[in-house]
Amino acid sequence: MQSRLMNKKYEIIDRILEIEVYLYILFMFLTKGEAVRNVLLYSGFFLWLAGLKYRNDNRLVTKPVPLLFWGFISTILISVVFSIDPLYSLKALKEDALKAVVIFCLVSTVLSDEKRLRRLCRLSFFILIFTISVGYYSYIVYDLPLMKPVTTLRHSWHAQFAVDLNTLLSFTFVLFLISRDTRFKILLAIAIIAGITGVILSTSRGGIAGSVGIASVWMIYFLKTKKINFKLVAVAASVVVVFFSVSLFMSPLMKDKFIYDKKNIMSFNERTDIWKPLIAAALERPVFGWGYGPKIFTMDQPFVNTSYKASPFNIKPAFGNPHNPFLRVLFHQGVLGLISYCALLIAATGLFWKGMEKFPLPRRFGERVRVRGILDSNFKSY
């Protein structure tokens, strides 16, 4: 009897924990609510710890992907020890690194079955509708040259807007594939088309490249599972090409960014001006890197012994961010961090492909969610 009551108690805790994680994901896509996000995150972690010893789940310490994740976290701790500013790096841990650990523990528990993954897909669809709505509203009402949200609830740069849309479109597409309701599938298809159009109108070259990459992954998936409808693919590709062509013709900014601005196109929008000094500095401390925390990159010390002498940040404030996750890890955590980062991504991808025919689609996608969500959403400075 007592055992049954305890099980019931922890079922309630798990349900509360699940709701908190969904709310946290919702608030991630709102400009306001940082305090609410922190309360949801750490109160959820407290509940997770409270029920830890009653869960018969050792995946966090036995499975390859979790072990590689902990390995990556350990390289962050090592970079703190060998940092050129250890005190700052130690303080920086409480931001992305700590949140990533908390989110990893929570997500690995909450997204542990197909029903919860389906709920996550539905939540993502709801957030996609909201994000698309504020994007189109801002674009039309404020007559913006590119699409981005400029409302009280949601305000972001066009590049981040494109990243958000790509993330939400991935989940929404899974919902489209598993849905059996024809009318709902039509609604999902309209939302997906509107989302892709939003990415195009954002004029974010990285966002558009991301969309192409996501589409390529799904194409490989369908080819591997032999569930591809070539007519549907042809129609979808034609729609995207038409939207892109019309946008390119009607938007002067699109023409400048994709046709006339050859200098920025060749330099990846000036990113090579950041990457060259970054690589030169990384070679000065190749094993452990220069230390954890985004401000390390803005300091001149890592660049003094290179031909560049100063941080790219001193050339242009926008250069305070490496704009490349792999090079960023190399600079801050060295080769040790880069190897663990690549191993984590490769293992997660391999797990996804390996489970293609073994598990239902939501569960297969969930394996990607558990790692990609952590790396994309919680390592924003990484």
Mean pLDDT on 165-173: 91
Question: Residue 106's pLDDT is what?
Answer: 87
Residue from 76, 115, 136 nearest 336 by CA: 76
Question: Residue 380's pLDDT is what?
Answer: 41
Q: pLDDT at residue 72 above 60? A: yes
* Residues 207/209/212/218 CA torsion (nearest 10 deg): -80
- Grade residue 162 by pLDDT with cuts at 50, 70 and 90: very high
**How confident is the prediction for the chain on average, in pLDDT?**
83
Residue from 103, 88, 101, 94 nearest 20 by CA: 103
Residue from 94, 116, 115, 114 nearest 41 by CA: 94
Residue from 379, 382, 330, 367 nearest 64 by CA: 367
Q: pLDDT at residue 235 above 50? A: yes
**Contact between residue 64 and residue 347 where contact means Cβ atoms under 8 Å apart:** yes
Residue from 63, 23, 84 nearest 331 by CA: 84
**Contact between residue 296 and residue 91 where contact means Cβ atoms under 8 Å apart:** no
**Contact between residue 41 and residue 24 where contact means Cβ atoms under 8 Å apart:** yes
Q: What is the pLDDT of residues 19-66, one digit of tens each?
A: 999 999 999 998 888 889 999 999 999 988 887 777 766 777 778 888
Mean pLDDT on 182-211: 90
| Sole residue written with tokens 């400029």 | 150
| Sole residue written with tokens 């880069």 | 338
**Contact between residue 315 and residue 342 where contact means Cβ atoms under 8 Å apart:** no
**Contact between residue 362 and residue 114 where contact means Cβ atoms under 8 Å apart:** yes
- Grade residue 379 by pLDDT with cuts at 50, 70 and 90: very low
- Grade residue 205 by pLDDT with cuts at 50, 70 and 90: confident
Cα(300)–Cα(310) distance, integer angstroms? 5
Question: Residue 172's pLDDT is what?
Answer: 92
Ranges of H-type helices in 142-261: 158-178, 182-201, 205-225, 230-250, 252-255
Question: Residue 306's pLDDT is what?
Answer: 95
pTM: 0.83
Q: What is the pLDDT of residues 306-346, one digit of tens each?
A: 999 999 998 787 778 898 889 999 999 999 999 999 999 88
Mean pLDDT on 254-268: 61
Mean pLDDT on 199-223: 82
Question: Residue 377's pLDDT is what?
Answer: 38
Q: Is 24 exposed, middle or buried (0-12, 13-18, 19+ CB in 10 A)?
A: buried
Mean pLDDT on 349-355: 71
- 127-136, 191-200, 276-285, 341-350: segment of lowest average pLDDT: 341-350
Ranges of H-type helices in 251-360: 252-255, 262-266, 272-282, 325-354
